[in-house]
Amino acid sequence: MKLFGKLGIVAVAGLLVAAGVSHAQQMKFWRIGTGGAGGTYFPIGGLIANAISNPPGSRPCDKGGACGVPNLVAIAVSTNASVANVNAIHAGQLDAGLAGAQSVVQGYKGEGKFTGSPKNKIRAIANLYPEDMHLVLPKGTKLSSLKDLNGKRVGVAAAGSGTQVSVRMILKHYGIKARESELSLSQSTQRLADGQLDAFFYAGGTPFAALIQLGSTKGFELYRFSDEERKAINKIIPYYVESKIPAGTYENITYDVMTVAVNGQLITSVDQPAELVYDITKALWNKNTRKLLDKGHSKGKAITIETALTGVLIPLHPGAEKFYKEKGMIK
């Protein structure tokens, strides 16, 4: 797994220079696993990292400076998303990460992709936002049903992603034998544009930067799941509920897209200190963080304290639990 890209290293180096060597020695780095650069986890993870960071030497919060945890430097790390993040957090290779509710619950219980290897060290910090399933098709292509994918070249998302687990469950349910390719979002869009794929799946918060770019060049279509298909998917994967990608979410998609969605969540390890996670949770829901989320990404507006505990089906980290108790959100 690539924990640090060039940009991350440059950013860290800049912080060290700005803070000075003596201050740098006091810093605590906190690695947040996200997803591929073309998806939503990476930019949202970057916003969260920015919000909870407060390097030594920063201006005070009340004077326009950082409002994060003193001496903490959080870093958004590009990964293969949900399953990979759950595994890495449990193993202590990441401090926190974003993951879909299905991967979170199955990882904690040792089910699905994690059968025989439960990741019972993971704990929840907050529910974030719904992740819509996209079934992307070449411009002008229409499917009468999901079964039309039989025999087609289909991208099933990256290995180690929660999307791939769900997609394969859906294909199996419908008896679809596709020519599958394990691809990141950016790889999927490129191959669709080049005519090397007939379709690809990807779940995440809308809009995807990679799809915005594809829409402005080659164009694409989004498959509209039927009511029957959405109900069937909810039955085989209860974490996925009925959802809608409104017309105009992507400039070239002028129709509403009925689909299914799973909640994305912020998780960590029970091994993380309670005081630190309490401070991080408090910083996450700081009023200044609200401004960052609202301005930083269109999905940021969906991340609210009111839905912070929605769909959280594993134990909260004790530090996060303390914060929500103080807020009167749990007893």
Residue 160 has what pLDDT? Answer: 83
Q: Lowest-pLDDT range, 56-60, 67-71, 258-262?
A: 56-60
Write the DSSP assignment of 85-111 as a string of letters: HHHHHHHTS-SEEEEEHHHHHHHHHT-
Give pLDDT tens digits for 282-299.
999 999 999 999 999 989
Q: Which residues pair with 29 in a beta bridge?
A: 73
Q: Is the pLDDT of residue 173 over 90?
A: yes
Residue 26 has what pLDDT? Answer: 81
> Which structural domains are found in the chain, ordered by start?
6-129+264-326 (3.40.190.10), 132-262 (3.40.190.10)
Residue 24: both structure tokens together = 């740098």
Give pLDDT tens digits for 130-159.
999 999 999 999 999 999 999 999 999 999
Q: 63 falls in which pLDDT band (50, 70, 90)?
A: confident
Q: Is the pLDDT of residue 111 over 80?
A: yes
Q: Is the pLDDT of residue 96 over 90?
A: yes
Instruction: List, in order, residues 6 or more apart from 97 with CB less than 8 Å away.
Output: 32, 33, 34, 45, 79, 85, 86, 88, 89, 266, 267, 268
178 contacts 153 by C-beta, under 8 angstroms: yes
φ/ψ of 88, rounded to 5, equals -70, -35
Residue 2 has what pLDDT? Answer: 42
Q: Is the pLDDT of residue 86 over 60?
A: yes
Q: What is the pTM of this model?
A: 0.85
Instruction: List, in order, residues 6 or more apart from 210 with CB less than 8 Å away.
Output: 38, 39, 185, 186, 188, 189
Q: Is the pLDDT of residue 18 over 60?
A: no
3-state SS, 223-269, equals CCCCHHHHHHHHHHCCCCEEEEECCCCCCCCCCCEEEEEEEEEEEEE
Q: Is the pLDDT of residue 7 over 90?
A: no
Looking at residues 209-220, what average pLDDT do you find? 96
Q: Is the pLDDT of residue 229 over 70?
A: yes
